[in-house]
Amino acid sequence: MALPGWIRRRRISLTISLTTLSLLLLAKAAEPPRNWLQDPPERKEPVIASCPAISNPDPLMGPRTRMPGRWRGLAPVSPDLPIVVMAGHADSQNMDGSGTPGYAVDVLKQRPMDGRMRDELYWNFKVQQQIVQLGRQRGLNISGYTPPSLTIRNHRDPSTNWAQAKMRSERGDYILEIHFDAYSPYGFGSGLIPAINRNLNVVDESLAKAFGRFPRDFRGGLGGPRRGIGILEIGMLQGELETQLRDPIRSAETIQCLASRVVDALVRGVGRS
Ligand SMILES: [Zn+2]
């Protein structure tokens, strides 16, 4: 059956439009994929599915220090206080003071997370990096320091955590060193072992309120605190904390949660919240 002339003309123009559309789609598909590294999508606060506020005792971090302190941190600080985050034992592997292997390795005879270091340092590094990243997103004047070698035997080496802490603390930086305590019965639990070389300030107070408070002269005054290091014991490396850190599915979220708790306390401490 012959179609009237106007219907034939509309069919032809429809065919042309569809062809144009197909060509456009093909051209789009041929574009190179977007490079997310160079051109990242809009950055948003990471959403942590299961990171409730800290409680005492805390279901994730366990009990607070069984040896509590009574000091108060009252000295004011600037909102731009330079904060330097270190990983505990980062220069002391394969020597005295290398940190705890944790319950999983020491008692359950599981493999270390990384054969070059104690499990404590492995997790100290992970949490340190996440604190610096989250802290910057939250507007803190925060950086990390990592020594150039996992083993530095020379105590006079200027690149150790202790040497850097002493120098930076003297110029007014706030030094925070991340640790995981040993497991029970050797461990003490969560809390801040504060610096000894300066007046305690509102950042010390904020961390102590969130994580717990060790005595200022804990074990006669440790080497780190004498050089201006605030030692933050996240918790004993055992139980739920160690299980979640070692679980490949929950590990990243657990590190994120621990780091966000530290950053929350730092943000409150410097008065940025
Ligand atoms: Zn430690």
How far apart (Å, rounded) are the C-alpha atoms in residues 85 and 177? 6
Buried b (16+ CB within 10 A) or exposed e, 58-81: bebbbbbbeeebebebeeebeeeb
pLDDT tens digits, one per residue of 35-90: 434 444 444 444 455 799 999 999 999 999 999 999 999 999 999 999 999 999 99
Report the pLDDT value the prediction gives residue 245, as an integer from 0 to 100. 98
Question: Rounded to 5 degrees, what are φ and ψ at 203?
Answer: -75, -45
CA of 176 to the centre of ligand 1 (A): 12
User: Is residue 190 a contact partner of residue 69, using CB atoms and an 8 Å limit?
Assistant: no
How far apart (Å, rounded) are the C-alpha atoms in residues 45 and 32? 29
CA of 123 to the centre of ligand 1 (A): 10
CA of 14 to the centre of ligand 1 (A): 73
CA of 36 to the centre of ligand 1 (A): 37
Q: Predicted confidence band at 111 (pLDDT cuts at 50, 70, 90)?
A: very high
Report the pLDDT value the prediction gives residue 6, as an integer from 0 to 100. 53
Report the pLDDT value the prediction gives residue 215, as an integer from 0 to 100. 97
CA of 105 to the centre of ligand 1 (A): 15
| Rounded average pLDDT over 136-159 | 97
Q: Predicted confidence band at 22 (pLDDT cuts at 50, 70, 90)?
A: low
| Rounded average pLDDT over 187-215 | 98
pLDDT tens digits, one per residue of 216-261: 999 988 999 999 999 999 999 999 999 999 999 999 999 999 999 9
Least confident of 2-11, 63-72, 261-270: 2-11
Report the pLDDT value the prediction gives residue 77, as an integer from 0 to 100. 98
CA of 100 to the centre of ligand 1 (A): 7
Identity (one letter) of the amino acid at 84? Answer: V
CA of 150 to the centre of ligand 1 (A): 14
CA of 268 to the centre of ligand 1 (A): 25
CA of 88 to the centre of ligand 1 (A): 5
Report the pLDDT value the prediction gives residue 28, as an integer from 0 to 100. 45
Q: Predicted confidence band at 25 (pLDDT cuts at 50, 70, 90)?
A: very low
CA of 201 to the centre of ligand 1 (A): 23
How far apart (Å, rounded) are the C-alpha atoms in residues 37 and 18? 36
pLDDT tens digits, one per residue of 156-198: 999 999 999 999 999 999 999 999 999 999 999 999 999 999 9
CA of 166 to the centre of ligand 1 (A): 18
Report the pLDDT value the prediction gives residue 37, as an integer from 0 to 100. 40
Report the pLDDT value the prediction gives residue 45, as an integer from 0 to 100. 47
How far apart (Å, rounded) are the C-alpha atoms in residues 173 and 109? 40
Q: Which neighbouring-strand residues pair with 38?
A: none
CA of 17 to the centre of ligand 1 (A): 69
CA of 103 to the centre of ligand 1 (A): 14
CA of 75 to the centre of ligand 1 (A): 27
CA of 262 to the centre of ligand 1 (A): 16
| Residue 200 pLDDT greater than 80, yes or no | yes
HEC string for the chain: CCCCHHHHHHHHHHHHHHHHHHHHHHHHHHCCCCCCCCCCCCCCCCCCCCCCCCCCCECCCECECCCCCCCCCCECCCCCCCEEEEECCCCECCCCCCCCCHHHHHCCCCCCCCCCCCHHHHHHHHHHHHHHHHHHHCCCCEEEECCCCCECCCCCCCCCHHHHHHHHHHCCCEEEEEEEECCCCCCCCEEEECCCCCCCEHHHHHHHHHHCECCCCHHHCCHHHHCCEEEEEEEECCHHHHHHHHCCCCHHHHHHHHHHHHHHHHHHHCCCC
| Residue 137 pLDDT greater than 50, yes or no | yes
Q: Predicted confidence band at 155 (pLDDT cuts at 50, 70, 90)?
A: confident
Report the pLDDT value the prediction gives residue 48, as an integer from 0 to 100. 52
CA of 87 to the centre of ligand 1 (A): 9
Report the pLDDT value the prediction gives residue 273, as an integer from 0 to 100. 80
CATH topology of domain 83-269: Aminopeptidase (3.40.630)
CA of 234 to the centre of ligand 1 (A): 10
